[in-house]
Structure 1
């Protein structure tokens, strides 16, 4: 089964979405660049994903259903896919014509690759001086590491995240990754934000043509370091792994329950702490002068964690959560994907929704993480990830006036 060449007219971008009318070219592969353009497409931008004739390599990742990649249903949603061989002079000329019609271009090749094949920013801007170009890479477009290869795991490692994901004192096993391609996703979010900002600045008359944006995986992870850098600069302190706890707030941790599941509890404030201690039958700790403020509780976090764990071990996770929520203590079981897919809150908000994919059939999608009044989450998913080149005829006709792809 193949994707329709042109999505149904009722599924075209909605006037109620803020980026309707913005034209974006994606020269992206794998995760970071395509994630940026997925966010832009979810907000209404007309995104043309330029793939090699064999398709984005990410199409070969993950599970398959009906012979088609499941992941790409989300990864390519709301995008128009065309296939071009960027090393072919004729296809390069076609890409430059597309760039002349675009507001922005997002790419995540290794630094220097587009220049080597003759499609660097200088040539793209000959076609369109107002083009905003977002370049996503492992280490950035300059610096001594610019030419080193990188994937998401490297961003986590060098950006400081992996050092912090270990359990304290654990040396036998390596610190685990968070389970998602967090550095790619962060870089993609920053790229999408920067593209919108650069387009707004250009169109607001700030002067000059389109800007070039430099985003990289390492800096994207490092940007989340909160107070770790100034702490080190002023005191020499190196933040160490804290496991499931938060070293600057207590009690906050994840506790074992009677059914083998885990409960995350955040008893950070003075008032919440007192309610939490009453709920677990330890009002004496709430009255203890040592625990009167957050600083004291952090100093005695191990004692508090032991008391809470003694209580959670007596109850199934769901019951423990219900008891704490009844007294307004922030907490949650650790959800797996089945919990999420069946949870009434996710379902009521259409955060999890079933959509019809021409390649896969009915498939679950996560909603876009942003909501705009006047547009429902379901309306924002206008079509699912298409087959490679599914929109060649449409794009080359609508953007370039070509009757058909030669």
Structure 2
């Protein structure tokens, strides 16, 4: 007899997703993975553009099946007053609303934060945008790439003699989404300790917790990850810049190339670790050098230390280097491709891949859900839904009957 799965920690929480592409949908995806009921509103004429991004199966993006797992898809024409009314009703029933339109769009539809708050004081709205809800740039379009640039990440990414590079994924959007999740959870906690859910009856006296708006700007979420960037500049005039694979001021920590042309990351920057590393690469002289015993003594000799490590790597294959350094308890790792991940014992032991199937029965693997909770882990209940798959279910829940739904469908409201 298999053990029955426990409800996710967010079971009973209703989330309305009003957004497209990455930042907003990634934010609500994590809530859906841990048990929240997420209703995703999409335009009837094509839906979320991410449905057609990158590698497709039968016209639908493989990314979509991950980004929208466990979500319910509802189509609404938001240019129609009836579509706006349905969205408002959904918003007033939701514990959390997540949106990533330009500031002002929801207000134009009558479902802005202040509009909803007048009726439901417990409204929690997570707003993700390029530049936030205030300031001189708030109305400008802003994708993750712009947030990465303005927030400082692009400036420090790449090699010093070449233009800045992008990280190979939409990290700006994803970092903003994670900030949105954190903000939503803090706002939910505050709502619950100040009174809890609104009772849903407009105009009647009720005890409701205090909701709030969570304002996440993409560039600020990236900026929040930039470590000691500001005080280093303000106090010491240091402008952090591109340094390739190295971590300047923390020595040694760099990427090296082995004899067989593989790339390996070695982080020997702890004082005791450095000594073990030097012994492992047969540089006892450097292990015993008192000037190199501490990081501040190693920094002026960064080039010398990196040269010694690279000279050793020139004589070793990737497997030989990994074996020797792991035996010496030195943090070391190969730079993985997805091919490496899919067969790696650590990934497999931790269950980092889930086996699923498309509706036609074709098997497909998805990344497993993180973080791992010991008592209420997340789960994939279904893959990203077809466009408008849950229209009837959700509209019936709002009180629309079959005739109403048929009329809305005929009028292209849904």
TM-score (norm 1): 0.92
Residues of 1 paired with 2:167 and 2:30: CA distance? 21
Partner of 2:381: 382
Secondary structure of the residue that 1:310 maps to in structure 2? helix
Match of 1:28 among 16, 19, 25: 19
SS in 2 for 1:218: helix
- Contact persistence 1:14–1:44 (CA under 8 A): no
Q: 1:353 & 1:305 partners in 2: Cα distance?
A: 40
Provide, for residues 308-352 of structure 1, a one-character-per-residue CA deviation record: whole Å limited to 9, x for no partner: 111112222122112111111110000011111111111121112
Alignment of 1:21-100 (within 5 A): 21-53=12-44, 54-100=46-92
SS of equivalent to 1:209: coil
Kept in 1, the 8 Å contact 2:148–2:154? The answer is: yes
- Pick aligned residue for 2:152 from 160, 184, 209: 160
Shift of 1:244: 0.9
Residue 399 of structure 2: aligned partner = 401
**Is 1:188 aligned to 2:177, yes or no?**
yes
Are residue 199 (structure 1) and residue 188 (structure 2) matched?
A: yes
Structure 1 window deviating more from structure 2 (246-255 vs 115-124): it is: 115-124
For 2:411, the equivalent position in structure 1 comes to none
Given that residues 73 and 386 in structure 1 are in contact (C-alpha distance below 8 angstroms), is that contact kept between their aligned partners in structure 2?
Answer: yes
1:128 matched to 2:126: no
* Residues 156, 162 of structure 1: 8 Å contact kept: yes
State the partner residue of 2:222: 221
Corresponding residue SS for 2:311: helix
Corresponding residue SS for 2:296? helix
Contact 1:39 1:192 in 2 (8 A): yes
How well do the aligned residues superpose, as a CA RMSD in angstroms?
1.8
After TM superposition, the structure 1 = structure 2 runs for residues 311-390 of structure 1, keeping only pairs within 5 Å, are 311-358=312-359, 361-375=362-376, 380-390=379-389
Residues 159-308 of structure 1: pairs in structure 2 closer than 5 A:
159-168=151-160, 170-171=161-162, 174-205=163-194, 209-308=210-309
CA distance in 2, matches of 1:18, 1:393: 27
Task: Write the distance in 2 (CA, Å) between the matches of 1:184 and 1:359.
Answer: 32
- SS of the equivalent of 2:333 reads strand
Deviation of the 1:125 alpha carbon: 2.8
Q: Distance in 2 between matches of 1:347 and 1:372?
A: 18
Length, aligned pairs only: 389
SS in 2 for 1:300: helix
Q: Distance in 1 between matches of 2:319 and 2:29?
A: 35
Give a deviation string over 1:293-312, Cα, whole Å, max 9, x none: 01111221111111111111
Distance 2:396 2:301 in 1: 68
| Aligned mates of 1:349, 1:151 — CA distance in 2 | 33
- The runs of 5 or more residues in structure 1 that have no matched partner are 1-12
Q: Which residue is equivalent to 1:115?
A: 107
Q: Distance in 1 between matches of 2:227 and 2:109?
A: 40
Deviations along 1:238-297, one digit per CA (max 9) or x if unpaired, are 112221111131111010011211000010111111111111111111111221101111
Contact preservation (8 Å) 1:97, 1:127: no
CA contact (8 A) 2:6 2:376 kept: no
Between the aligned partners of 1:232 and 1:194, the Cα distance in structure 2 is: 29
1:139 aligns with 2:131: yes
Matched residues in 1 for 2:17 and 2:132: separation? Answer: 18
Q: 1:76 to 1:67 in 2, by over 3 A?
A: same
Distance across 1 between alignment mates of 2:119 and 2:40: 19
